[in-house]
Chains A and B, each alone.
Chain A
Amino acid sequence: MSKRKKEVQPFWRPNFVIPAELPDIKVVRTGFIINFIAITLALCVAFFLLQREYRAYVLGHTIADMEQQIRVANADDVENLKSSEAFRSAAQYVVEVEKFYSAPLQAHTFLYSLAQIKPEDLIFNSVSLSETVVKQNGKNALAYNINITGDAKSLTVLDDFKKILEDADLLKVEGFDLQIDETLQGRDEKTGIFPYRLAISLTPRVKAAPKSGEEGGDAS
């Protein structure tokens, strides 16, 4: 590579050149660049504005169509809502009747089934069914108590009957825990039979509370 030295010549005549007056000899003229940028920006802004205005115009039309659609459908909708409300309020009566009857045991079916499964060697002296309100997780709930008293001709028959009761569908109630306690008294010397008492309780099952670890949190 060779270095070209600038030739410095002494001013041998005055320089009358006015640079501002000289024609623009750049490849791309400054005026062109300024105009290009200005036109591009103006077009962008105008396009953005027009696009927004067009969208607003389309939206206006869509909204008008929708409002018309709603006006047409509104009468039917009001009627539908009235019908729905009428159905809801009428259905409340039916729901209440269902609530009134809801119980895990019905007296007639319970007694009938009890008579069906009773072993021959077991005598019933009394049978009772009652409802009690119990507190569960701070809420009131219904529990059912059944008491049976009578005489057993042999010692094993009461255990057999207890097992029958535990296995019977009669006392398998969803959402309830079954507990059967038997009390056997001393044998009657004259008759040789054993007076007994069976206490059956159906209590609403307590829902397991979520473990404290499952709730997350800082273990620091």
Chain B
Amino acid sequence: MNHKLIRTLKEYPIAVLCAVVILVCSAAIFLRGGAALQLSAKEADLNSRIRTIDQNVKNAKGIREDVEEVELLVEQIEARLFNRDQRAVNINFFYDVEDRLGIRIANISQMPTEDALYSKGGVKELKLHSTISYNLSLNGTFQQILAFLYELHRVDPMIRVAGFQIAKGGARGSDGETLDARLRLVVLAE
């Protein structure tokens, strides 16, 4: 049997050699197959990384200037915030406006807690700032009250009139009928 096989093999030496080549190549393909796949995967990863870097470069066009600009803006915002601890300074701010506009502030009360709207879980929850709420009662003519509201909008500190009630006061001054106003203010704080 063996003798016959050897004889047959000897009869086709080229075919035997080719069979050996096929075996060796197949083994190499099998062994190196994983490496090729790994290289392909790595190439895809690197391609994706390069694309990301290119996209970052495109997106970052002028970003340093933008950062400087926005940081300057943040500094300006910070400078306009009320300081919760400076209670007297904060209240004095409203009296300064009173003096300028000739309106009379009857009462100012600072609320002990933050406005629920802006605190945690509120509809307008703020994460980087806090708020201070004030209730103001003031008397003046319609023009004076309107000017006061406009002044609150215009001034540096960031103040929002969250609610108001204006009613006839009964008295009549030289400039017209005096109104009583109750304002609910929210001021952005540190």
- Asked, given contacts A63-B43, A126-B167, whether A46 binds B25 with beta carbons under 8 Å apart, the answer is yes
A220 within 8 A of B: no
Question: Interface of chain A, helix or strand or loop or mixed?
Answer: helix
A208 within 8 A of B: no
Interface bracket on B: 35 or more
| B126 partner, pick from A62, A100, A127, A129, beta carbons under 8 A | A100
CB proximity to B under 8 Å, residues A59-108? 59-60, 62-63, 66-67, 69-70, 73-74, 76-77, 80-81, 83-84, 86-87, 90-94, 96-97, 99-103, 106-108
Size of interface on A: residues with Cβ below 8 Å to B: 63
A170 within 8 A of B: no
Interface centre among B22, B67, B129, by most chain A C-beta atoms within 10 angstroms, is B67
| Interface CB pairs A-B, < 8 A, 21 | A31-B12, A35-B15, A38-B19, A39-B18, A42-B21, A48-B29, A59-B40, A69-B50, A87-B67, A90-B67, A93-B129, A94-B73, A94-B74, A96-B126, A97-B129, A100-B126, A107-B152, A111-B166, A127-B167, A128-B163, A131-B117
Residue numbers of B with Cβ under 8 A of A are: 11-12, 14-15, 17-19, 21-22, 25-26, 28-29, 32-33, 35-36, 39-40, 42-43, 46-47, 49-50, 53, 56-57, 59-60, 63-64, 66-67, 70-71, 73-74, 77-78, 117-118, 123-124, 126-129, 131, 142, 145-146, 149-150, 152-153, 158, 160-168, 183-184, 186, 188
For the complex with contacts A63-B46, A84-B56, A92-B127, 8 further pairs of A-B residues with Cβ separation under 8 Å are A45-B21, A56-B39, A59-B36, A90-B67, A90-B70, A100-B160, A111-B145, A126-B168
